[in-house]
Structure 1
Amino acid sequence: MPDSPRRATLATVAASAGVSVATVSKVLNGRSDVAPATRSLVQSLLQQHAYVAPAPRRVEATGGATIEVQFDADFTAYSTEIIQGAVEAGAELGVGVVLSIRRGEDRTAAWARDLIAAGRRALIAVTSQLTSPQLAALSRARLPLVLIDPLNLPRTRVTSIGSTNFAGGLAATQHLLSLGHRRIAYVGGPATAACNQARMHGYRAAMEAAGVPVPPGYVRTGHFRYQDGVVNGAALLDLAQTPTAIFGGSDETALGVMEAARARGLRIPEELSIVGFDDTQLARMASPPLTTVRQPLREMGGVAVRTALRLAAGEKVDSHHVELATELIVRGSTATAL
């Protein structure tokens, strides 16, 4: 992380209170041999200075170290794959992996202090949008951070793990073009999400390279959720010129589109081809099985844990952003255009 506001030290607090560093340390450790008035003053100044006890600069992969994997929304099929990879890597390395859900508004000023107090040695945030003050709080606490599929790209240099989203979007659209489709729509996630933008740009690049225009209303955004797929899929299928193929920015989105098509009596893939993105269990369980872009989610979870441990051990990483390869998996939800 880059430079951030100078972190308050015990000496800073002690000087403000007019007491010794040892006295401040006693208050932090809950010792009883401090006068009530002094304790109250020191506690007030600790809060005023936003003091955060630093995490140890080096940790071993064993000995009870824990890493927190934090999501900002309820668990999904996507989340489950990330969790599986993180837990497997933690078990292999002898590191505890703690799961939590903490939405943006819950990441208050005390957030970093709470993580340190709980004994966390690193934080992995999944599909989160972190603000500059939140990043600064983690930096002051010297708590290593790894992002997986961040919704925003922080201006500060933060270590992140993702996949080749542009290449995946390109491959999905090229597959549909190869089947003779020309009216191809895209239903994605949040418009500002980095991963969504990359998938959408891959889609647009494939369409442009093939000389196929994208009609107005053929690109829709929302969240990578089933219900958004239902709503946006319905909107596309109600257009005067309906698409013959739809690329969903996630498996959940694609399944929502599939339901919207079924509600209108459309046969899949005979009358509408659908492609997803992620290759979660949902893709394999769909009827028909979903053609999708495989995102190596388990590997991403494992790489994030290993990277977080290296940062916690004071090591430097080779790259601040790692992209793992995607792969198109063709199943039964796509067919030649009529």
Structure 2
Amino acid sequence: MPDNRRVTVRDIAAETGVSIATVSRVLNDHANVAPRTRDLVLRAVERSKMRVTEPGRPRTVYVRCPYVLTDYFGLIVSSIAETLKRHGLRVLLDAGEASQHADALAGLPDEPGVDAAILILPPEDGDQLVALSQTDLPFVVVDPRTPPPPDIAAVSAAHFAGARALTGHLVGLGHRDIGVIAGPEEWLASDARLAGHRAALSQAGVLPMAHHLWHVEPTTEAGHRTAAELLDHPERPTAIVCFNDKLAVGTVQAARERGLRIPDDLSIAGFDDIDISRATDPPLTTVRQPLQEMGRIAVTQLMRMLDGHQPEALHIELATTLVVRKSTGPALKQ
């Protein structure tokens, strides 16, 4: 029995010496099969330790995105769905914040009709992903929340490089007192972007100030609230970099409320380059993540796994692009 690809009804039939139709009847629990034959087929299936795909049945990929499908997650999911369709695969979509609290991964390998999975920013810890990887279900993680275990395929953006380029841009404009509104501390992207920010400051011989760093949920409301704290501090920063564009929008609002001119009095930058970054006044300097390409690459990785290949590059980081707009400018001379 092959151990490096998806086992089909034809494989089971060849090993047991019965017809493909008989194997199908056993798998579908039809009554008109001799007990000895049924036992023979079931033992072969058990030995294979893989799920059996019947010829002609479209393979189905479970896509889990336990978040509201905004312009960020929506772009990733749409790209995945479109690419899967081109490969002739069906999509079973599980989206929305309610699924964050469901134990979705434990029962996934036994889910009828599910052949593979793509997990977008999964809230589960590494141990649960490892447990899933030890089953026969192929899966790929997109935008992992925590560092993915070594043997799990994952696709993300180059967070460190993107943040370093963004802060380097601000340093080049003369900024040294730079506030950082980072994402949640336990997120991989938060750690990588903060490391990139610090690397750019270090290269300029600048030590980041502790009171200029905040970790928050990446929402517009949190950006507004946190920026107010930064801007009301006696040592107000000359620039603020945000974990994402939504936080940056909240920061713009807080700056406007205080009569600050952007970028004359305060430079503001985001991350992601979603549509809202071009709708602010002024438009946001940001870092473009290749969100749609992340979805396409995830499907490519998954297709290789479904075809019996183990991807050589398990953790893929896609390049980001610094997009300079009018929300950043030279530092205000004190």
Partner AA of 1:165 in structure 2: H
Give the gaps of 5 or more residues in structure 2.
1-21, 33-48
Match for 2:84 among 90, 108, 119? 90
Q: Indicate whether 1:79 and 2:73 are aligned.
A: yes
Asked whether the equivalents of residues 69 and 123 of structure 1 are also in contact (C-alpha less than 8 Å), the reply is: yes
Q: Indicate whether 1:291 and 2:285 are aligned.
A: yes
Give the gaps of 5 or more residues in structure 1.
1-21, 34-52
Asked whether the equivalents of residues 83 and 299 of structure 2 are also in contact (C-alpha less than 8 Å), the reply is: yes
1:295-314 matches, within 5 Å, as 295-314=289-308
Q: Distance in 1 between matches of 2:301 and 2:107?
A: 22
Structure 1 residue 319: Cα displacement: 0.8
Match for 2:262 among 254, 268, 277? 268
Q: Distance in 2 between matches of 1:314 and 1:125?
A: 20
Partner AA of 1:251 in structure 2: D
Q: Indicate whether 1:321 and 2:318 are aligned.
A: no
Name the SS of the counterpart of 1:123 in structure 2.
strand
Structure 1 residue 222: Cα displacement: 1.6
1:149-168 matches, within 5 Å, as 149-155=143-149, 157-168=151-162
Match for 2:197 among 194, 200, 203? 203
Question: Structure 1 residues 213 and 59 mapped into 2: Cα distance closer, same or farther (>3 Å)?
Answer: farther
Partner AA of 2:310 in structure 1: K
Structure 1 residue 220: Cα displacement: 1.1
Q: Indicate whether 1:259 and 2:228 are aligned.
A: no
Asked whether the equivalents of residues 147 and 161 of structure 1 are also in contact (C-alpha less than 8 Å), the reply is: yes
Asked whether the equivalents of residues 143 and 312 of structure 1 are also in contact (C-alpha less than 8 Å), the reply is: no
Match for 1:248 among 222, 242, 252? 242
Structure 1 residue 239: Cα displacement: 1.2
Asked whether the equivalents of residues 55 and 141 of structure 1 are also in contact (C-alpha less than 8 Å), the reply is: no
Match for 2:102 among 106, 126, 134? 106
User: Please, what TM-score do these two structures have when normalized by structure 1?
Assistant: 0.78
Name the SS of the counterpart of 2:78 in structure 1.
helix
Question: Structure 1 residues 226 and 305 mapped into 2: Cα distance closer, same or farther (>3 Å)?
Answer: same
Asked whether the equivalents of residues 163 and 196 of structure 2 are also in contact (C-alpha less than 8 Å), the reply is: yes
Residue deviations 1:147-192 (CA, integer Å, cap 9, x gap): 1111112445211101111110100001111111111111111112
User: Please, what TM-score do these two structures have when normalized by structure 2?
Assistant: 0.79
Q: Distance in 1 between matches of 2:137 and 2:177?
A: 48
Question: Structure 1 residues 327 and 68 mapped into 2: Cα distance closer, same or farther (>3 Å)?
Answer: same
Match for 1:191 among 178, 185, 188? 185
Q: Distance in 1 between matches of 2:74 and 2:142?
A: 13
Q: Indicate whether 1:128 and 2:126 are aligned.
A: no
Partner AA of 1:105 in structure 2: H
Residue deviations 1:119-169 (CA, integer Å, cap 9, x gap): 222211111232355325523541112111111124452111011111101
Structure 1 residue 54: Cα displacement: 4.4
Structure 1 residue 283: Cα displacement: 1.1
Residue deviations 1:62-86 (CA, integer Å, cap 9, x gap): 9522222211222222102212321
Structure 1 residue 109: Cα displacement: 6.8
Partner AA of 1:106 in structure 2: A
The residue number in structure 2 matching 1:181 is 175
Question: Structure 1 residues 262 and 93 mapped into 2: Cα distance closer, same or farther (>3 Å)?
Answer: same
Question: Structure 1 residues 331 and 135 mapped into 2: Cα distance closer, same or farther (>3 Å)?
Answer: same
Name the SS of the counterpart of 1:134 in structure 2.
helix
Question: Structure 1 residues 311 and 213 mapped into 2: Cα distance closer, same or farther (>3 Å)?
Answer: same
- Identity rate, percent: 37
Match for 2:225 among 231, 239, 242? 231
Asked whether the equivalents of residues 271 and 286 of structure 2 are also in contact (C-alpha less than 8 Å), the reply is: yes
Structure 1 residue 89: Cα displacement: 1.5
Name the SS of the counterpart of 2:301 in structure 1.
helix
Residue deviations 1:91-113 (CA, integer Å, cap 9, x gap): 33222233222644312575314
Q: Distance in 2 between matches of 1:59 and 1:234?
A: 59
Q: Distance in 1 between matches of 2:244 and 2:115?
A: 32
Residue deviations 1:217-242 (CA, integer Å, cap 9, x gap): 11111222222212221221121111
